[in-house]
Structures are given as C-alpha cells and as structure tokens.
Amino acid sequence: MGRRFYHEQLWPGNRARGRYLLAVYQTRSIRFIRREDLGDWRLKVYGIGTHAPDARPEFVEATLGAARTVLPEGGGAGFVIAHDAKAAGLALIYWWTNENEIHGRFFASPLDDPAALVPNDGTGLACVWEMEVLDFERRAWLEDVLKNNDLDAYLAKRAPDTDI
C-alpha cells in the first residue's frame, strides 16, 4: 500500500478551530500548460504554482504519469491539474463521462519528491485555486459540448492564466 499523508504532514503548523483551518492567504499562479493526448484521452494540462510562478515541470510530468494509470479504458476528454501546493504536490485528474458528469482521482506527493505520488482517498474535492479551473472547465463543457456538440471547440478553450 502507498504512503499515507495525514493532515499534520500536508499542512504542518495549522490548527483546526471549529471546522476551519487558520492559514495565511498566499497568491497562487494558475497556468494553462498544454494539450496532451494520452492514448485515446484528450486532456488539457494546468499547473498551479505556490512556491514559484509555475508548477515544476517534473511534477507536471508525474501528474500525467498518474493520469495514465487511472483514466478508464475507451478514451474521452478531461483535464489535469498539477498543484504545487503549500506543503505537498497535489495531482488531480478529471474526466468527463455520461455526457454531463465529471469524475476524478487524486494523488499527493512530498514537495521534495514530486514523482512519489500516492493515491489520496480523502474526501476533499478541490481547493479554491483548483476550483478556478473546475469552474472554467464546467462552463466550457456545458457551452461547447452539451449545447453545441463541439468537442474540438471545448478542447481549444483554456482557462486564462491568472494570479489569485
């Protein structure tokens, strides 16, 4: 079984007060990196940088490696987010299925070993920075694929680069 991460390891120094963590806000850079085809899967690749403007290239590649292991047979469309977060590398793999559903698998790695991704079976869906990409992708899928049946238009769209 893979290495487990516990709250104290991923977010050292934070103390829970009620249901919320006390953390200092830190601007993060959200960047579209490229389109990538993995077999029959057509993916958009995003990076979120915390310690630097961009996600580290080796972490982006590790995220794509994780995607290769979890994307279902048959192909389709989706996107990945390589989030170089405050205390860990977070690899998020999302894909569209059943016309209007998004599915996902998540991985984490220590900052000093970005390729050491292990499945994260926690209940978290996404953080506020990752939701910036999720929101864009949801709106693009709705408009281009569901309303206009144009997968190529969806794949050509990308969330704008931003610092939030």
DSSP 97-146: ETTTEEEEEEEEE-TT-TT--EE--SS----HHHHHHHHHHHHHIIIIII
Residues belonging to the chain: 164
Which of 146, 147, 124, 144 lies closest to 44 in space, CA to CA?
144
Quick: pLDDT tens for 3-36: 444 444 444 444 444 455 556 778 899 999 999 9
Structure tokens belonging to residue 62: 């590790």
Backbone phi and psi for residue 104, each to the nearest 5 degrees, phi listed first: -155, 155
Quick: pLDDT tens for 80-117: 999 999 889 999 999 999 999 999 999 999 999 999 99
pTM assigned to the model: 0.86
Pairing of strands 41-49, 76-84: parallel
